[in-house]
Structures are given as C-alpha cells and as structure tokens.
Amino acid sequence: MQSRDPHGEPLAPLDQREHSADTREALADQRERTADIREAVLDRWERALTERALALGVDDEQQEQARLHTAQQRVVARSERRAAADERRTEAIERAVNRIAAAPPPAEDDDPQLLEAAGARTLESLLALVETGATLADTLATIVEIAGDAFVEADAVTISLTVDGTLTPAASSATWASELDATQLRRRRGPIIDAVTAGSVVISGALAGDDRWDLALGPDGDRAVLSTPLLVGDAAPGVLTVYAHPGRRFGRHSVLAATLLSGQASLAVGLALERLSHRAQLDAWQRALASRDLIGQAKGILMQQRDLDVDAAYDLLRTTSQRQNTKVRDLAEHVVTHRRLPDHPSSANARDSDNP
C-alpha cells in the first residue's frame, strides 16, 4: 500500500522509498528480536513440559532426540538471522549518513533522537511485561497506555485481535474510539481492515471524510487516525489504532514510530497468547493427573471390596460407565466419596415407583 503524508496525501517517491526502507528495517529488527525472545521462552517451556512428561513416564528417548534436533535447527536459524541483520544494519547506516547530509533540521516534537529514546523506553516497558508474565488483558492495557504516551497527537488508542478468525475489539482507552473501531469491523472497511490486509501502517488525515472508505461516522470520526498491524507469529494478526485529537495531524515520523511500537507490541501480545496456551496445557495436565489419581483410588476401593484384580476393577468401572452413560472419572469420584458404585438410574426409578 502507498504511504501517505500526515494529511493523507501520497508521499513523494524519494520519501516513499526512505519510509519503506526504514519500515522494512525496523520490522526486520523487531522480528529478529521477537524470534530470539520467543525461542528462549519456548526452550524454557519445552524443558518444563519435558520434565513433567518424564516425571509421569510418558516420554521416551526418541521424542527427546526429536526435540534436541529441533533445538539445534533453531540455533542454526538464529545464526542465519544474525548474519542477515548485520547486512541490513550496514545498509541502514549508509542510508542514514546520506539522509543526514540531505535532511533539513527536524521540528522539536518530531526529533528522531526523541523517537529513539521513546522507542527504548517502550521496549523496556514491554520487556518488563514479558518478564513479569503479565496476563493478556494486562498486556493489552499496558500497550494502549504506552501508545497513548508515544504519540503526542493521540486522543485514544485501541487494539483489535483476531479471535476465532474474526477481528474483534480487545482493548480501548475510550468508548467513542471502541465505537469507531466497531463500525470499521462491522462494515469491513477502514484503516483497521487495510492495515491487516496490507500488513503495514495506514494513516488517514480525517477518517470520516476519507474517500478510500466512505464511512458515515458521527463527529468523533472527524479526526486523523493511524492503524498498524500486530503480527503475532504465524497467527492471524491484530491491529493497534491511534485516534488523534481533533485538528491534530500525525507527524513526519509517525509511520516509523508506529512500526517500531507495533513490532514491540506484537512481541508482548504474542508471548502473552503463548503463555495463555502454555498455561492451558499445564492446567490440562494437572486435570489429567487428578483424574488418574481418582480412578486409581476407585480401582483400589473396588479391588478391596470385591476381591478383584486391577484389570477386573477397571473393567467394572468401564462397563458401568457404558451402561449408565457416565464418564469413568465421574463414577470414580462417586466410588471414592460413597465407597460404592452409583445405582443405575433405571433401578432408582424402579425404587421410586415402588414407593409412591
């Protein structure tokens, strides 16, 4: 998609190329950093899961070898990424030298050094989120807050995430901004949709009047807007949107700032989502182990009461579960609680009819 200046007009070809180069470089750096951190976290989680599986005795050497092989492949991929990053940086330095020689002095609120400092602060805040294991909701709320501080023009910030294949409002700093998001998502057009489709930053000088989307919006829509995609690994993406104060326009370096922020935010959101998934897996293991224990206790009770061996006790649980259309775990819970198998519902009904 063609980049536009803060007023929504297409950039001059030279500026366009510089913006594209900056954007590509920033994205590549962010992806590299994201990949490194994700890999470190994945290594840690994989070790935890392996230890759990080994403790349970359901892992074997073959699987361990496969995991080691995958880890080695990750190390090779990391080296290749580093080499590519070195090349990119050399090119970036050359571009920067040429640009400094040609560029006019920047406006005070648009100083690249200030942007760089803000970027470093943002990364620090987001890494703190990752390290403290913040929940997805806390992560989104913090990103909204950081984005509000990062853009001097920002009046409100929102985040939409893909849930079950559909972009859905996930966080917002203002109700009216949520409504502007909801309108775009409902009509399937607007900067949020374009940012996802193009995978790059989209800016409009006036959302309501922009003929790219022809969105009929109330007075809240008469403001500049910037949407940038959140790329969460291979998963369907989300979008970070910044709505400007009425009458304000996004500055010259907004695209670069948005790209940097979206890269860092993508990392934090991606890890929060992975943490959620990892936690769900651990919870599932805990439930499985609890169920095993319960079934084991029930088998022990039945073996003792009925003088059965372990297989016969299990068969009794299984055939009862079939007959009563009940899960073995629920039967086991009943046995452990009441020291006997539950009555069959039909026999209970028969007793009820005997006792009017």
Partner 1 sequence: MTTSQDPAGRLDVPDAAWRALTPARLRAELSVFELHLRFIALGGYTTLDALSQHCSAGVALAGRKHDLIVLALNERFLELRSSERLPYTG
Residues that bind partner 1 (CB under 8 A): 56-60, 62-63, 284-285, 287-289, 291-292, 295-296, 299, 311, 314-315, 318, 321-322, 325, 327-329
Nearest distance, CB of residue 77 and partner 1, angstroms: 24
Nearest distance, CB of residue 54 and partner 1, angstroms: 11
Please say which residue, 125 or 321, places its beta carbon nearer to partner 1. 321
Find the helix or strand (DSSP H, E) in which 246 lies: none
How far apart are alpha carbons 38 and 31 in whole angstroms? Answer: 10
Please say which residue, 50 or 162, places its beta carbon nearer to partner 1. 50
Nearest distance, CB of residue 49 and partner 1, angstroms: 11
CB burial readout 71-103, b (16+ within 10 A) else e:
eeebeeeeeebeeebeebeeebeeeeeeeeeee
Please say which residue, 312 or 348, places its beta carbon nearer to partner 1. 312
How far apart are alpha carbons 89 and 280 in whole angstroms? Answer: 39
Q: Which residues contact 82 (CB under 8 A, 6 or more apart)?
A: 32
288: its two tokens: 């499985």
Please say which residue, 106 or 342, places its beta carbon nearer to partner 1. 342
Nearest distance, CB of residue 8 and partner 1, angstroms: 46
303: its two tokens: 């073996």
Please say which residue, 116 or 315, places its beta carbon nearer to partner 1. 315
Please say which residue, 61 or 86, places its beta carbon nearer to partner 1. 61
Nearest distance, CB of residue 55 and partner 1, angstroms: 12
How far apart are alpha carbons 244 and 132 in whole angstroms? Answer: 31
Nearest distance, CB of residue 167 and partner 1, angstroms: 24
Contact status, residue 234 vs residue 281, Cβ threshold 8 Å = no
Q: Which residues contact 294 (CB under 8 A, 6 or more apart)?
A: 329, 332, 333, 336
Do the strands 154-163 and 238-244 form a parallel or antiparallel pair, or are they unpaired? antiparallel
Please say which residue, 16 or 326, places its beta carbon nearer to partner 1. 326
How far apart are alpha carbons 320 and 328 in whole angstroms? Answer: 8
How far apart are alpha carbons 260 and 121 in whole angstroms? Answer: 12
Please say which residue, 57 or 247, places its beta carbon nearer to partner 1. 57
24: its two tokens: 């590509």
Phi and psi torsions of 167, nearest 5°: -65, 130
Residue-level length of the chain = 356
Nearest distance, CB of residue 298 and partner 1, angstroms: 10
Nearest distance, CB of residue 325 and partner 1, angstroms: 6
